Chain A
Amino acid sequence: MSDGIPRGRDGHVLQPLWVWSPETIEDIQSKADLGRYTNRGLGMTKRPPHFEDLTFVPCTLSRVPLEGYRETCATAIEIGGRHGAKPIKLATPITIAGMSYGALSRNAKQALGMAATRVGISTTTGDGGMLDLEREASDQLVYQVLPSRYGFNPHHLRMANAAEIVVGQGAKPGTGGVLLGAKVSPIIAEARQLPPGVDQRSPVRHPDFVGPDDMQIKIEELREATDGQIPIYVKMGASRVPDDVKLACKAGVDVIVIDGMEGGTGASPDSLMNHTGIPAMAATVEAVAALREMKLEGVVNLIISGGIRNGVDAAKALALGADAVSIGTAAMIALNCNRPIYLEDYEKLGTVPGACHHCHTGLCPVGITTQDEDLIARLPVDEAAERVEGFLNSMTQELQMFARACGKNAVHDLEPEDLRAMTIEASAITGIPLVGTNFAFRPESFAQAVAEAMAPASTNGHKAPQGAQH
C-alpha cells in the first residue's frame, strides 16, 4: 500500500516508540561503540520557543506607517561607552560573533572581516587568537579573552577595538570542551602551543579569576593594559540570566552579550546543546528586565545572539529591548555553509546539504570550517565577502521594513508593544499579549484580572479594562 503510512512487508503499521526512537537507538549504539558521549558542530536540534512565535502589529488606522523608499529609518548605534572608552560604532545593529580561526578557515575569517567593514559593523576573534588577515580586513575587531587563552597576545589586545571576556556560550554554558585531534592541524597546534594531532581540551573557567567579584579585578587589568581606551564586553551563555546580568553589571562591564541555547559551536557535546541554557527570546526578556532593575538600560549595552536567522528575528530582539544582535551560524550559512554544491563530499561525510553539522570533522565541503588547503580554495574570499555583505544588507532592510511598518523612524524605537504573541507560551515567556486578546499570560496579568473581576463596578457603570496599552 502506498498511503504514506510506514508499514512492514506484511502490511501492518510500523510503530516506533517515542522513548526508544530511531534517533535514540542510534545514539545509544554509537555511545556503546565510542565509550563516550558524542560531539558535533552547529547547534540544538529540537525546536525551542523562539522569536518565530511573535508577530508585529504594524500601523493601520491607529498609527501612521512610514514610506519605505523615502522616509529615513535610522539603524546606527554606538556601544560600549559606559566607562569612557572609544565606543564601537555599528552602522546597523548586527555584529559577527566570535568564531575561532581554527574552527574557521582563514578565507572565512577574512571574508567576514571584509563584509563587516563594508557594512560598518564589527567582527570578533575566537578561541585561538587574532589572525592578521582578520585584523587587516575588519575595521572593528573585538578580541576575545577565553578560558583557554590559546593564542592570547597582549599586543593583539592593544590592537583590538574592544575586548570580550568569554564566560560561556549558548551551545554549552558551564562546560569547557574537547576538540578531537583530527582537527588540530600542525598550524593550529603551533598557534595554540599544543602537540599536533592531540585532543584539545578547553577548560571552562578562566585561569586567573573565579567569579564576578574577581572578574571585576580582571576587567581592571584589561583596562590598564589598554589604557582605558576600549570597551570591555562579557559574553555568557543564556542560563540564570537575571542574576548573571546583574553580576556582570556589578563587575563593571560595558557590554553584555547573551548567547541563547540556539547558539552555534564548532564542536560540542550533542546532549549539552539540547539540554542546557534557555532560548534567546526568553533570555532577551530577562536580560532587559535585569538591566532595567539596575537602572542601566541603555548604559550597559545588550547584544543578543543564538538562532538569529534574519532581520525579522533581529527586529523582534530589538523590540524586546536588545541594543544589537550577533550572528554566527547565519553568517557561516551566508558564506556557503550547507549550500548544495560539492554534493559527493557531503556524502563522504555521511550527510547531505541542509543537514550537515559536521564542522567537528575538519572536512567542510565548502571550505569554511576546515584547515585543508584544497577545501579552503573552494571559498574564494571576494565572492564570500560579497555574499555575507548581501545577507547583512538584507537584514538591515528587513529591520527597517518592520520599523517603518510600525511607524518608527529608527529601528531602535521598536518596542514590546509593537508585538503580539502567537502562542500562550510565547506570551507567558515575554509578557506580550496573545493575539486576539489584550492579555499577557503572566502572573501579574492574572492577578490584575482577578482583582478587577472582584472589584465593585465604578460609579459610571464601566469596569476598568484589562491588560495594557492603547
Chain B
Amino acid sequence: MATLTSEIDCSAHTTREINQAIKRAAADGVPEIRLTNPAARHCLAVAVMSPIHVIFDGPVGWYCGGMSDGGRITVNGSCGWSVGENLMSGSIEVHGNGGSSAGATLRGGRVFVAGTTGARTGISMKGGTLIVGGSVGYMSGFMMQRGTMIVCGDAADGIGDSMYEGTVYVGGAIHSLGADCIEAELADEDRAMLAAELEPHGIAASGVDWKKLVAGKKLWNFSKHEYDAWRGAL
C-alpha cells in the first residue's frame, strides 16, 4: 500500500483530469492527496467513493464532494453551492463560508462548514449530520426528511419549513419558523450530542441557548380542517 502524499496543481489540469487523478489515487490506496490552486472551480472531488483524504488548499466552487461515499474532504477556503450534495457517507470540512444548498439531500456522513452558508442549507436532507459554524440563510432545512442539522449562528426566515422527520438545532437567533416547524424541548441526550459533534471543531456547545426544531406534523396528512396550515402548502 502506497504511503505517498500526492499533490496536484489544479491550475495545470482540467476538472476531469483532477477528478480522475483523485479516483486513481483512491484506487491505488494512496491515503492523502493535496490539491493546490483550486481557485473556486466547480465539481471537484465529485463521487469520491473510497476512504481517501482529499485536501484543497484554497477555495472550491459548486458541488464539491457531491455524491461521494466514504471519502474525507477538507477545504482550506470557502465553497460554492451544494457542497456535499447527496453525500452517502464520509465527511467534508470547509474552513470558510459556504454557498446556498449546502448539504442538499444529504443522506449520511458529515458535512461541516465553519463559516456562514446561504439559502436552503440542508434542503431535503435524508440523513447524516450537517453542521454550520456560522448562520444559515432563507428556507434552510426545507423539506428535511431525516438527519440532524446544527446551526451555531442564526437562522434566517423559514427555518425547517415543511419538514418530515429530522431535527434542526439553532444556537443563535431564529428570524422566523417555517411552515409546520415547532420548537421541542431540549433533552440531556441532545446536549450531549451537540457537545460531541461540536467539540472536535473547537466550538463550545455549553453556554449556548439551543433551540430544538422538529415538524409539527400538521402537514403530514392533509386535513381540510387545518385550513391555515394547508392554504399555503399546496
Contact = CB atoms under 8 A, between A and B. Distances in A.
Given A199-B221, A224-B15, A217 B43 contact: yes
A194 B86 contact: no
B126 to A, nearest CB: 4
Contacts of B110: none
Interface in A120-152: 148-149, 152
B167 to A, nearest CB: 14
A196 to B, nearest CB: 11
Given A149-B105, A214-B81, A35 B124 contact: no
B181 interface: no
Contacts of A149: 86, 105, 124, 126
Interface in B56-73: 61-63, 66-69
Contacts, number: 116
A59 interface: no
A208 B42 CA distance: 13
B105 A152 contact: yes
B146 interface: yes
Interface stretch (A153-161, A232-240, A256-264, A444-452): A153-161
Nearest to B69: A154
B47 A158 contact: yes
B81 A224 contact: no
Nearest to B123: A207
B159 to A, nearest CB: 16
Interface stretch (B29-37, B193-201, B222-230): B222-230
A214 B146 CA distance: 26
Contact of A201 (B47, B86, B143): B143
Interface string A162-206: 000000000000000010110000000000111101110101000
A228 B67 contact: no
A221 interface: yes
Nearest to A220: B43
Contact of B145 (A158, A193, A223): A193
A218 B63 contact: yes
Contact of A217 (B42, B120, B233): B42
B86 A154 contact: yes
Most buried by B among A152, A153, A180, A226: A152
B169 interface: no
A221 B123 CA distance: 18
Contacts of B105: 149, 152, 207-208
Interface residues of A, number: 38
Given A154-B86, A208-B82, A221-B43, A178 B220 contact: no
A224 B145 contact: no
B234 interface: yes
A225 B63 CA distance: 11
B46 interface: yes
B88 A153 contact: yes
B85 A199 contact: no
B150 interface: no
B129 to A, nearest CB: 15
B69 A155 contact: yes
Contacts of A227: 20, 23
A33 to B, nearest CB: 8
A198 B233 CA distance: 15
A178 B69 contact: no
B124 A225 contact: no
B85 A36 contact: no
Nearest to B88: A154
B201 to A, nearest CB: 24
Contacts of B220: 181, 195, 198-199
B16 A228 contact: yes
A197 B146 CA distance: 16
Given A195-B220, A221-B66, A225-B66, A36 B162 contact: no
B20 A217 contact: no
A342 interface: no
A152 B146 CA distance: 15
A59 to B, nearest CB: 50
Nearest to A177: B234
A214 B80 CA distance: 12
B234 A37 contact: yes
B164 interface: yes
B219 interface: yes
Contacts of B123: 207-208
Given A201-B219, A227-B20, A221 B224 contact: no
Contact of B143 (A203, A217, A225): A203
Interface string A52-94: 0000000000000000000000000000000000000000000
A194 B164 contact: yes
B47 A207 contact: no
A199 B124 contact: no
Most buried by B among A153, A181, A192, A193: A193
A17 interface: no
B227 A221 contact: no
A201 B162 contact: yes
Interface string A22-44: 00000000000011110000000
B52 interface: no
B46 A193 contact: no
B34 to A, nearest CB: 19
B104 interface: yes
Interface of A: 34-37, 148-149, 152-155, 157-158, 178, 180-181, 192-195, 197-199, 201, 203, 207-209, 214, 217-218, 220-221, 223-228
17 contacts: A35-B227, A154-B69, A154-B88, A193-B127, A193-B145, A194-B164, A197-B221, A198-B220, A207-B120, A207-B123, A217-B42, A217-B61, A218-B63, A220-B63, A224-B43, A225-B47, A226-B47
